[in-house]
C-alpha cells in the first residue's frame, strides 16, 4: 500500500511501556496518518498549564486513569479533523470499555468502524525495567531508551534538540499502580475487540524493528 492510499483506523493496545507509542510513530510515518496519543495530549496540556492539564495531572501522577468524560469528547473531536480522513492511529485510547463504546458509537454515526486493534504484548516483568530507562522529550514528545534507543547526545532529543526527562509517572511505585490499573480497566478491551474480529496480537518483547515487521504484516505493505 503506498502512502496516502490507506484508510485505516488503528488502535494500539498494550500495558504501559509495551511500546505503543514507539510503534505508533513508525506506523504513522509509513502509512502517512496522524498519531493521536491521549497521554501526549494530556502532557502538552500540563506543560501549558491549561485547565484540562491541571485536572489530568492529579490522576496521571498517581498512575490512575483520567475520568472518561475528560477524554472521550476530546478524542471524538480530534478524529473529525481534516488530517484524519485517511485514517489514524489511536495510542492510549480507548482505555476502558465505556471509552471503547463511545468511540464505536461516534464512528457508527458516520457509518465507520475501527479496522485494527493491535495488542502489543509484554509481560509485567519486562515493563518496570523499560520504564526506568525511558527518556521523553519535553518539547516534541519523542521517546528514547537509555539502552535500547539511545540518543546521539546524552539527554538531548535527536529530533528537536530539547532536553529529555524521566516522566513523573515512570517512577517504579507509580508504574506498579499503572500496571494494576491496566489489568483491571484496560485489559478487558482485548476481549471486546476480539469479539469484533479486529484484534491482532504482536510480541512486544522482540526488538523494535521486529515488532514493527509483525505489525506491517498485519496492516499490509
Ligand atoms: P500514556 O502516555 O498513554 O502512557 P501508557 O499507556 O502508560 O503508556 P506509555 O506511554 O508509558 O508506554 P508505551 O506503550 O507508549 O511505550 P513506549 O513506546 O513509550 O498515558 C499516561 C497517563 O495518561 C495514564 O496513566 C492516564 O493517567 C492518562 N491517560 C492517557 N490516556 C487516557 C485515557 N484514554 N483514559 C484515561 N486516562 C488516560 O515504550 C516504553 C519504553 O520502552 C521506551 O523507552 C521505548 O524506547 C522502549 N521500547 C519500546 N519498544 C521497545 C522494544 N521493542 N524493545 C526495547 N525497548 C523498547
Ligand atoms: Mg506512550
Is pLDDT above 90 for 138? Answer: no
pLDDT over 90 for what percent of the chain? 89
Q: Against a cut of 0.75, is the pTM above it?
A: yes
Query: How close is the Cα of 219 to the center of ligand 1, in Å?
Result: 21
Q: What is the mean pLDDT of residues 134-160?
A: 93
Expressed as residue numbers, the domain containing 16 is 8-125+172-219
Pocket test for ligand 1, best of 56, 92, 124 (most atoms within 8 A of CB): 92
**CB contact at 8 A, 59 and 65:** yes
Domain presence at residue 140: no
Q: Are 93 and 66 in contact (CB under 8 A)?
A: no
Q: Is 152 annotated as a binding residue?
A: no
d(CA 88, CA 85): 8
Name the domain count of the chain.
1
pLDDT at 74 exceeding the cut of 90: yes
Helix (H, G, I), strand (E, B) or coil at 152: coil
Q: Report the chain's mean pLDDT, rounded to a whole number.
A: 94
Instruction: Give the pLDDT confidence score for residue 116 in this predicted structure.
Output: 98
Catalytic annotation on 130? no
Asked if the structure places residue 186 within a domain, the reply is yes
State whether the beta carbon of 174 lies less than 6 angstroms from ligand 1.
Answer: no
The arithmetic mean of pLDDT across residues 78-84, rounded, is 95
Q: Which residue has the cell 509517572?
A: 169
Residue 87 lies in a domain: yes
pLDDT for the residue numbered 2: 46
Residue 163 lies in a domain: no
132 touches ligand 1 (CB under 6 Å): no
Whose Cα sits closest to atom 49 in ligand 1? Answer: 19
Q: How far is the CA of 217 from the centre of ligand 2 (A)?
A: 22
47 is a domain residue = yes
User: Average pLDDT for residues 171-182, to the nearest whole number?
Assistant: 93
- Confidence check: pLDDT of 209 > 80: yes
CATH number at residue 213: 3.40.50.300
**What's the whole-number mean pLDDT along residues 128-146?**
90
Could you report the per-residue pLDDT of 12-54, keeping only the tens digit for each?
999 999 999 999 999 999 999 999 999 999 999 999 999 999 9
* CA of residue 221 to ligand 2 center, whole Å: 24
104 inside domain: yes
* Ligand 1 lined by 195 (C-beta under 6 Å): no
pLDDT of residue 1: 46
Residue 81, SS3 per DSSP = coil
Of the pLDDT bands very low, low, confident and very high (cuts 50, 70, 90), residue 172 is confident
Query: Which pLDDT score, from 0 to 100, does residue 23 have?
Result: 98
Amino acid at each position: 500500500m503506498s502512502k496516502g492510499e490507506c484508510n485505516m483506523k488503528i488502535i494500539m493496545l498494550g500495558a504501559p511501556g509495551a511500546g505503543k507509542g514507539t510503534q505508533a510513530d513508525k506506523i504513522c510515518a509509513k502509512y502517512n496518518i496522524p498519531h493521536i496519543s491521549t497521554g501526549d495530549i494530556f502532557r502538552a496540556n500540563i506543560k501549558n498549564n491549561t485547565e484540562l492539564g491541571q485536572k489530568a495531572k492529579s490522576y496521571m501522577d498517581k498512575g490512575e486513569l483520567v475520568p472518561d468524560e475528560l477524554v472521550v469528547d476530546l478524542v471524538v473531536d480530534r478524529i473529525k479533523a481534516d488530517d484524519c480522513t485517511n485514517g489514524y492511529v489511536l495510542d492510549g485510547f480507548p482505555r476502558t470499555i465505556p471509552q471503547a463504546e463511545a468511540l464505536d458509537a461516534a464512528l457508527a454515526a458516520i457509518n465507520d468502524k475501527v479496522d485494527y486493534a493491535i495488542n502489543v504484548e509484554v509481560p509485567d516483568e519486562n515493563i518496570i525495567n523499560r520504564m526506568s530507562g525511558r527518556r521523553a522529550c519535553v518539547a516534541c514528545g519523542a521517546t528514547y531508551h537509555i539502552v535500547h534507543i539511545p540518543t546521539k547526545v546524552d539527554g538531548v532529543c535527536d529530533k528537536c534538540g530539547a532536553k529529555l526527562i524521566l516522566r513523573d509517572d515512570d517512577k517504579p511505585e507509580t508504574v506498579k499502580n499503572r500496571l494494576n490499573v491496566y489489568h483491571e480497566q484496560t485489559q478487558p478491551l482485548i476481549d471486546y475487540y476480539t469479539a469484533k474480529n479486529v484484534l491482532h496480537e504482536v510480541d512486544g518483547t522482540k526488538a523494535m524493528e521486529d515488532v514493527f515487521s509483525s505489525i506491517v504484516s498485519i496492516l499490509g505493505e
